[in-house]
Amino acid sequence: MNDPSHLARCAQLAMVLEVAAHPKPGNVDRDHDFPDTTFEHFLASAVGTYPVLEEAARSRTGAGALIHAAAEESLRWQRGGNTHFGAFVLLIPLLMAAGSKTQASKIVLDTTSEDAVEFYRAFSIANVRIDSVPDFDLGESNSADRILEDGVKLFDLMKLSADHDLIANEWVSGFERTNWCADMITKKADTMSINDAIVCTFLRMLAETPDTFIRTKFGRDKSIEVSERASEVIRGSMDLASIKSEVHEFDEQLIREKANPGSTADIIIGGLFVALVRGLRV
Amino acid sequence: MNDPSHLARCAQLAMVLEVAAHPKPGNVDRDHDFPDTTFEHFLASAVGTYPVLEEAARSRTGAGALIHAAAEESLRWQRGGNTHFGAFVLLIPLLMAAGSKTQASKIVLDTTSEDAVEFYRAFSIANVRIDSVPDFDLGESNSADRILEDGVKLFDLMKLSADHDLIANEWVSGFERTNWCADMITKKADTMSINDAIVCTFLRMLAETPDTFIRTKFGRDKSIEVSERASEVIRGSMDLASIKSEVHEFDEQLIREKANPGSTADIIIGGLFVALVRGLRV
């Protein structure tokens, strides 16, 4: 089942199921739109990027250009701006590796400075909010030249961000959190609906790892505080039904504060993709 | 924009947006599952059938085999049983025609008795509830032989059902309702969200045309009664917001009565597909 079309559909479905899952505190889901970015924008982006996802599943090199192409295709299909940039950064190497963390780790290690330049281009069109990377200010137009001159690989850039960026951290540390999510979703889906398995895994992940998106918007302390609140919400629970009102309240709080754990959602997408490739069925 | 991949993604997105739209009285949507068939089953079916949709967009003959292949692929991706059989019967000729009603009408007119046999095979695996077609009882295993011997084309079978089956009627009368839906969704999407444009068009369609699915389950009188109720709900309304509580109440009524206007939803999918092909963007 590792044919490129199958893998691309697993990636589409991972994005669709993730955004549909509810209540998913702080993020866009079937019950919550953001002012400029709606549930339907995420659905259209997930569906529209199919050809790039399939091309990734056929490729062993060119991760940067594929991330760039996915970001472009996503914007062609919807008018809500950036929906899946972090998800593409995670999904593209996983697609190239047919879901194997060992293969994906080799693929990211082999990235080049051309990949880094393409990544910067993708970044600027997706209009993503990030901490500036120390040595290569993304706002500076001559960064691309400097990257090529210095021979900086995309993997090197990810290393610079790995201590404060969840997705970069996956690239440089063997896609461990993604796999942890895949295992947890698969296990939970044995005893609960796929929706509840996703939401419970999302909360568990958020409780254990402060979210990059929130850190970038509000600073480290806020991201830690949100994780502590996630931890309180899920403490001792075995299923979603028993904590539904607490989860709803947490959701409303985060939406009021505009604190959306977008990077946690990206890891969930990666985990869902790996789980679907391994045979998880809705 | 008529390349096969673009057309296939328009078909996927049409199915995804249709099932997401809410409140959609009586049917599965983001807020309502049926006991055995959930929102996620519909999402997985829409995503999973991509290769068949793309193949249809490359084909000018073989509608029956394509409908059969779509029904099979849908069941491979989810465990909720039949989700999109009627939608496939409508979408396959529209994909083959790149959304043109004139081309689609030629394509269905040119179907063969092999198409009819494949259609019967698709029917039996999808386990669809229907009125038996007068001359060819679908429960009889020798129907296939009789179809080939008698040279009955798939178009002829549709003619036999056209007076009481909405999808068959589209095949034999130029896909007019599908185009009416495409125009209405596109026009409404100028002034309201895509969700509300879909729901309003669904209600308008249901008010004007009794639903095949409801007729098959409960008889002609019931299907007319449901349409009359839809008509009352939307009477005089210009948008969804002003009639939201009436629509919710209608939704709860139909769900209690298990009266799901599934064929109306299929036409909406066809209309959304045509609108997306013509350039509608979320």
Q: What is the pLDDT of residue A108?
A: 98
Q: What is the pLDDT of residue B132?
A: 44
Q: What is the pLDDT of residue B10?
A: 98
Task: Give the chain B residue nearest A195 (alpha carbons).
Answer: B40
Do the chains contact at B78 and A281, CB–CB below 8 Å?
yes
Q: Check: CATH 3.30.379.10 for B4-175?
A: no
Q: What is the ipTM of this complex?
A: 0.95
CB atoms within 10 A of CB A208: 13
> DSSP readout, A40-89?
HHHHHHHHHTHHHHHHHHH-SS-HHHHHHHHHHHHHHH-SS--SSHHHHH
CATH of A4-178, one of 1.10.4200.10, 3.30.70.20, 3.30.300.30, 3.30.420.40: 1.10.4200.10
Q: Do domains B4-175 and B179-271 have the same CATH topology?
A: yes
Q: What is the pLDDT of residue A134?
A: 43
A235-268 pLDDT, tens digit each: 988 899 999 999 999 999 999 999 999 999 999 9
Please tell me the distance from the alpha carbon of residue B63 to that of residue B56, in angstroms, as a whole number: 8
CB atoms within 10 A of CB B232: 11
Task: Report the CATH architecture of B179-271.
Answer: Orthogonal Bundle (1.10)
Do the chains contact at A39 and B51, CB–CB below 8 Å?
no
Do the chains contact at B43 and A282, CB–CB below 8 Å?
yes
Residue B9 touches chain A, beta carbons under 8 Å: yes
Residue B50 touches chain A, beta carbons under 8 Å: yes
Q: What is the pLDDT of residue B134?
A: 43
Domain locations along chain B: 4-175, 179-271
**Dihedral angle of Cα B157, B159, B160, B163, to the nearest 10 degrees:** 140
Contacts of B282 in chain A (CB under 8 A): 38, 40-41, 43-44, 77-80
Residue B73 touches chain A, beta carbons under 8 Å: no
CB atoms within 10 A of CB B131: 12
A107-152 pLDDT, tens digit each: 999 999 999 999 989 988 877 755 544 445 555 566 788 889 999 9
Continuous H helices in chain B: 4-20, 39-48, 50-58, 63-77, 85-96, 101-109, 113-126, 143-150, 154-161, 166-172, 176-188, 194-208, 212-218, 220-234, 244-256, 262-277
- Count contacts between A and B (CB, < 8 Å): 88
Mean pLDDT of A74-78: 97
Number of residues assigned to chain B: 282
pLDDT-derived band at A1, boundaries 50, 70, 90: low
Token pair recorded at residue B59: 């084909």
B100-135 pLDDT, tens digit each: 999 999 999 999 999 999 998 998 887 775 554 444
Do the chains contact at A5 and B282, CB–CB below 8 Å?
no
Residue B4 touches chain A, beta carbons under 8 Å: no
Q: What is the DSSP letter of A132?
A: P
Please tell me the distance from the alpha carbon of residue B119 to that of residue B89, in angstroms, as a whole number: 9
Q: What is the pLDDT of residue B39?
A: 98
Closest CA of chain A from B119, distance in Å: 25
Residue A120 touches chain B, beta carbons under 8 Å: no
